[in-house]
Chains A and B, each alone.
Chain A
């Protein structure tokens, strides 16, 4: 197991390095220099040159990359002129808030999607299945921007019971201290996830309910409830585990649309604004974080899979 972990972490490191090289190259190929974007149209050529020199943008890209990696190894992700903050400060300000929103919405999605998926499977091709399937497809097909806007109009303007913006607190504690502000963005973000997860659970449950082990359990006289919840559901959750692993990067990268709509300055907004303003240090910093989250997410998914599925462990131990 330890050897497996070390191998996977080594692979992860290689992937992260490759991602940073590609990101670095692409960013430096973008039209419109960082200097002009930062200093504005009034900046003189001398000021532009001084900026490029200070940030190291006047050096060959390979040298810039070398300097970047050197700083990265010391935990220094650079400084953002646009924000007047170090990249570490900017990310550490937004990442916890993004994670709160993402975790809450994921939790809500799981709590609702699993029972919905089970109901659909058990009541397959009957009205509950059709009703939930229709609603899922509707939720899935509705642009999240439109859904959020409808939520705001309904619950903040027509029936003003919830605030139209997310909590404006600086820290996680301040964000959590305003739970009302979290309701609309969390629900908006969760709705699409519920639709997706419930479809996966339904599909897996339907497959498993037709398996021999289920037939055996039923023939042994076990109650249907026990058959479904104790025997089938565990296997039916495998796709969700895989999805959760792949969801880890999303946890770090934020939800741009929801953040924009609900005035919640998270990681998605940070990256988007940085892209518009050619804020290279932020773009690179976020890319590094997300690439690490992606490879770790894949690793976590594999480990979780192994934890719940003895067949995976068995296969791994025999190879």
Chain B
């Protein structure tokens, strides 16, 4: 009797397991999913793209919603007045094909720019006119405190006169004479025509009128539009978002999920979509994205840094793997205001010595597998052109010279020990102002977690610095903490020494790579509180002088003065797309994606 039970139970258990396996098998076959149901779209008129879910649709950016995916999504639906390209072929970098207006005509000694719109229509067939530009201007002027692109003193504060000439022409007169290239690239890039005939109202049921023509009315309209944009679950059903100017229309939107764009049949631009549908699929992690990419279930994705050794496998599966170079620079932020270590960073020789201990070419080549390039100064090199070569950098990797610099300024260098200030004082051979005798070079780097290459990079830098007795402590934290705040020495938050948030590039520029937001005294993203009157003068010159040499002068000065330590600049991402998908290249260095150029062979 006893022997009967286990046999039956065993059979029962096997039967249960078999049933589960069978069910799984049936599900796999019957569901028809396999790898193909959600799969890639090669040979069809659809493309599936790995893409974070955008969460802002109003083409006037709001603080907190300026992420790259929102910019790409926004451009797919609402084109900016000007689109830019950095290949050096176009006046003011304006892309003549994609832009909605002709390049501006400059008059009045550079103060007035007259702009003529091209013949474009909204998706409902109505023409895009200067009324739509005026509507945008009224909205941002009355709501600049709620507009992410607003900077005190910048657009629209720097507009003395805004006038509409006719349906197609308007002019802007500035308060000062600006460098036209700077103004066109970094100020006019904010203008996005918005459909006045559909949006100029303060509720869904209200009748469209000229409500936004007064500041009070413009605030009401902005409230209404913002509230609609804060309701993502209605993006694909709200009538507001059905009137668009871009090449795509929103067919389906799942909050924090998949987004489907379909070709806009009434698109009036010249770059008509070649595909019928683009599916934007978000992923919960790099691993899940890469697993799906390996399985061939998406047409365009990215190779996470940890998986770059699998490039060959992806190629064997019919993918093209291509680095996406950004119009960016990467740096290690120094806190000049730190009450303890700020005095160290104030010393140019010390910054120079530390820069000489960062072997950018080797790190770029070995640690970043060639997908990073040395940063030499604040103005990026032409994307993808400089490889891993550091030729032209003001300070190349030179530990011997770094040691000499320290010793010649009163430091007792103790290799693999603790280098200390031996000769305090402000003389040429002394440590410098505020540095007491016996001060050690112990510094903490707050760096991003989750990037294997970044971890290895700082291990290498730490090792090089230790050879000269500079002791680094690397503290890895989430992205949000790695962006250390600008601070005053008296504030509790000012205890950080150095910070790094450049695993995908520290800073991406608009078309004109000037530094008024980064390195000018009190600039909003001058997180380390660097201040140099000469730098301020040169930065101002890039904004106000038409002389093309100003940008070079600014770059050369800051490349040497080291407001930060220049670091290898990683690509924005390593893209992988099906080899049959054409039009993906060139990948826009300013991180936009033009799906309308994509097609299957």
Residues of A within 8 A of B (CB): 31-33, 36-47, 50-51, 81-85, 89-90, 93, 108, 111-112, 115-116, 118-119, 122-123, 128, 149, 152, 156-157, 160-165, 168, 170, 178-183, 187, 223-225, 228, 259-265, 269, 275-278
B480 touches A261 (CB 8 A): no
Min Cβ gap A295→B in Å is: 29
A156 to B517, CA, bound (A): 47
Complex interface: chain A residues within 8 A of B486 (CB): 45
**Contacting residue for B37 out of A81, A115, A178, A261, CB 8 A:** A178
Complex interface: chain A residues within 8 A of B294 (CB): 157, 164
A to B CB contacts below 8 Å, 23 in the list:
A32-B480, A43-B63, A44-B152, A47-B63, A51-B63, A83-B256, A115-B13, A118-B9, A122-B9, A156-B35, A161-B28, A161-B34, A161-B35, A162-B24, A163-B35, A163-B295, A164-B288, A165-B292, A170-B257, A178-B33, A180-B28, A263-B283, A265-B282
Q: Does B8 interact with chain A (Cβ within 8 Å)?
A: yes
Which residues from 267 to 291 on chain B have a C-beta closer than 8 Å to any C-beta of chain A?
Answer: 281-285, 287-289, 291
Complex interface: chain B residues within 8 A of A108 (CB): 20
B63 touches A224 (CB 8 A): no
- In addition to A116-B13, A162-B24, 19 A-B residue pairs with Cβ atoms within 8 Å of each other are A37-B483, A38-B64, A40-B67, A42-B517, A42-B524, A43-B524, A108-B20, A112-B13, A115-B12, A119-B10, A157-B295, A160-B35, A163-B38, A164-B294, A179-B31, A180-B37, A181-B33, A187-B24, A228-B5
Complex interface: chain B residues within 8 A of A33 (CB): 485
Complex interface: chain A residues within 8 A of B452 (CB): none
A164 touches B257 (CB 8 A): no
Complex interface: chain B residues within 8 A of A156 (CB): 35, 291, 295
Given A156-B291, A183-B27, A265-B257, do A32 and B481 touch, yes or no (CB 8 Å)?
Answer: yes
**Contacting residue for A40 out of B31, B34, B66, B288, CB 8 A:** B66
Among A123, A179, A228: residue with most chain B CB under 10 A: A179
Min Cβ gap A230→B in Å is: 12
Complex interface: chain A residues within 8 A of B287 (CB): 149, 260-261
B38 touches A84 (CB 8 A): no
Majority DSSP secondary structure for residues of A touching B? helix
Closest to B283 in A: A263
Interface residues contributed by chain B, number (CB under 8 Å): 72
Complex interface: chain B residues within 8 A of A163 (CB): 33-35, 37-38, 295, 297
Complex interface: chain A residues within 8 A of B148 (CB): 42-43, 47
A31 touches B481 (CB 8 A): yes
Interface string of B1-39 (1 = CB under 8 A from A): 110111011101100110010001101111111110110
A36 to B234, CA, bound (A): 28
Min Cβ gap B230→A in Å is: 6
Min Cβ gap A107→B in Å is: 10
B297 touches A277 (CB 8 A): no
A90 touches B256 (CB 8 A): yes
Q: Which 7 pairs show the lowest CB-CB distances between chains A and B?
A: A37-B480, A32-B481, A180-B33, A180-B31, A115-B13, A263-B288, A260-B285
A37 to B20, CA, bound (A): 45
B33 touches A36 (CB 8 A): no
Q: Does B258 interact with chain A (Cβ within 8 Å)?
A: yes
Complex interface: chain B residues within 8 A of A46 (CB): 145, 152
A165 touches B297 (CB 8 A): yes
A31 touches B232 (CB 8 A): no
Complex interface: chain B residues within 8 A of A128 (CB): 6, 10
A168 to B145, CA, bound (A): 38
Complex interface: chain A residues within 8 A of B32 (CB): 180
Complex interface: chain B residues within 8 A of A170 (CB): 254, 257
Complex interface: chain A residues within 8 A of B477 (CB): 31-32
Q: Does B233 interact with chain A (Cβ within 8 Å)?
A: yes
A156 to B28, CA, bound (A): 11
A7 to B56, CA, bound (A): 47
A50 touches B255 (CB 8 A): no
B284 touches A51 (CB 8 A): no
Closest to B289 in A: A263
Which residues from 61 to 111 on chain B have a C-beta closer than 8 Å to any C-beta of chain A?
Answer: 63-67
Closest to A179 in B: B27
**Contacting residue for A41 out of B229, B257, B527, CB 8 A:** B527
Min Cβ gap B276→A in Å is: 20
A75 to B512, CA, bound (A): 48
A32 to B33, CA, bound (A): 43
Q: Does B389 interact with chain A (Cβ within 8 Å)?
A: no
Given A32-B481, A180-B34, A181-B38, do A261 and B28 touch, yes or no (CB 8 Å)?
Answer: no
Complex interface: chain A residues within 8 A of B255 (CB): 83-85, 89, 93
A160 to B34, CA, bound (A): 6
A111 to B148, CA, bound (A): 55
Closest to B54 in A: A84
A149 to B434, CA, bound (A): 55
A119 touches B6 (CB 8 A): yes
A178 touches B295 (CB 8 A): no
B295 touches A160 (CB 8 A): yes
Min Cβ gap B485→A in Å is: 6
Q: Does B311 interact with chain A (Cβ within 8 Å)?
A: no
A164 touches B295 (CB 8 A): yes
Complex interface: chain B residues within 8 A of A122 (CB): 5-6, 9
Complex interface: chain B residues within 8 A of A89 (CB): 233, 255
Complex interface: chain B residues within 8 A of A224 (CB): 1-2, 4-5
B517 touches A162 (CB 8 A): no
Complex interface: chain B residues within 8 A of A112 (CB): 13, 16-17, 20
A277 touches B480 (CB 8 A): yes
Complex interface: chain B residues within 8 A of A50 (CB): 63, 145
Min Cβ gap A285→B in Å is: 15
Which residues from 242 to 262 on chain B have a C-beta closer than 8 Å to any C-beta of chain A?
Answer: 254-258
